[in-house]
Structure 1
Amino acid sequence: MGDVPVIAVENENLLGAEYAKMNYQDSDEYREMIKYVLNEFEKVYDSNAMVVEHRNYTLQIINGFSHKISLAIKARDCDCLYNCTAWIIMRPWLIADGPDSIQLNCVKDQELS
């Protein structure tokens, strides 16, 4: 996929936006995206909803298990995301054998189907 932006969130409280550490680019667009993702991630998981709509983003659970869950965030306005069509959140706090981090990787639309 070439050079794809990857954002790693490493902290003690993954749902606290103030802990978000953006190691690819420190911009307002990324900051707002991370804040929204971290806030909505808990809501999606707690409600077991499959899709959460937002003005700029759509979160969708693409697979979930008792110990693992993955979400896809699809941006409606992708200009600030380097024209990426979607992002995958992986390794949330529920994965016992993984680090306490969330990685967002740009993926293509067809990979979500």
Structure 2
Amino acid sequence: MDEHLVKEVLSEPRNQKEEIQALQDTIYVIGGKWKLPIINSICNGNRRFREIERSIPGITTRMLSRELKDMEANKLLKRTVTPTSPVTVEYSPSDYCHSFADIILHMIKWGKEHRQRLRED
């Protein structure tokens, strides 16, 4: 465990209520089945709705639309509308979204290690 990070994030004395609220806020914003795969897709260059949809097996059009709106409201994505014919809509990660890139990388790493651990038993 990174002691510097522990001292930076956790108060002394510990405030469990504040810690739980922060965890719940994080889970609310990036939790669920689809948000992280959507972010991953967009960060991998899929910018248009159909590109994102095709890159995520099992997601429905309705669910993707709902999640994109929610993520835009939480300032994770930028939605750009270009008045061409037909109108072009593209999504891109915001700077704020990039602020938790390390968290996503750690989650991917943990997930790979977890899957490997399950195979070993």
TM-score with structure 2 setting the length: 0.27
Greater strand share, structure number: 1
Greater helix share, structure number: 2
Greater RCO (Cα-Cα under 8 Å, separation 6 or more) = 1
TM-score with structure 1 setting the length: 0.28
Larger radius of gyration: 2
